């Protein structure tokens, strides 16, 4: 009796890891009481994904200011990830990504786009 065995190896394709669920963290009001925001920060193999929910609490007749989301690195660097128009009574949902790992981020800020004045901040 002759026995022949064949071993076939199959390597499956693994899907990219799913992003972990991240809680929305409140941002501190620094230079205004007319904005409120939460920030979700997710570490990824390629860097960090950041998502904001920013509510403009200003009265309807207030000016529509341009705001920016800024990431402050532990090395003091500042990177602008998104800009949007603050519309009284509405919620903006800007999001952005950066190659900087989460552990190298000192803070996420909402600033006035024209002056850089810090309005909201979440330190990490």
Give CA–CA dist 77/60, Å, rounded.
35
Interval 21-38 mean pLDDT: 90
Predicted TM-score (pTM) of the model is 0.81
pLDDT in tens, 60-90: 998 889 999 999 999 999 999 999 999 999 9
Q: What is the pLDDT of residue 23?
A: 80
Asked whether residue 4 carries a pLDDT value surpassing 90, the answer given is: no
Q: What is the pLDDT of residue 31?
A: 85
Into which CATH architecture does domain 25-123 fall? Sandwich (2.60)
Q: How far is CA 37 from CA 33, 63, 98, in A?
A: 11, 19, 20
Q: What is the pLDDT of residue 44?
A: 96
Contacts of 79 (CB under 8 A, 6+ apart): 70, 71, 73, 98, 100
């Amino acid at each position: 009796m002759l026995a022949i065995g064949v071993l076939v190896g199959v390597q499956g394709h693994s899907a990219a890891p799913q992003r972990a669920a991240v809680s929305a963290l409140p941002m501190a009001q620094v230079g205004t009481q007319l904005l409120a925001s939460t920030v979700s920060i997710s570490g990824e193999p390629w860097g960090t994904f950041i998502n904001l929910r920013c509510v403009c609490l200003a009265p309807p007749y207030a000016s529509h200011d341009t705001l920016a989301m800024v990431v402050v690195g532990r090395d003091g660097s500042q990177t602008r990830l998104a800009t949007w128009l603050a519309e009284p009574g509405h919620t903006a949902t800007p999001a952005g990504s950066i190659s900087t790992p989460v552990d190298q981020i000192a803070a996420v800020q909402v600033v006035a786009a024209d002056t850089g004045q810090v309005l909201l901040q979440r330190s990490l």
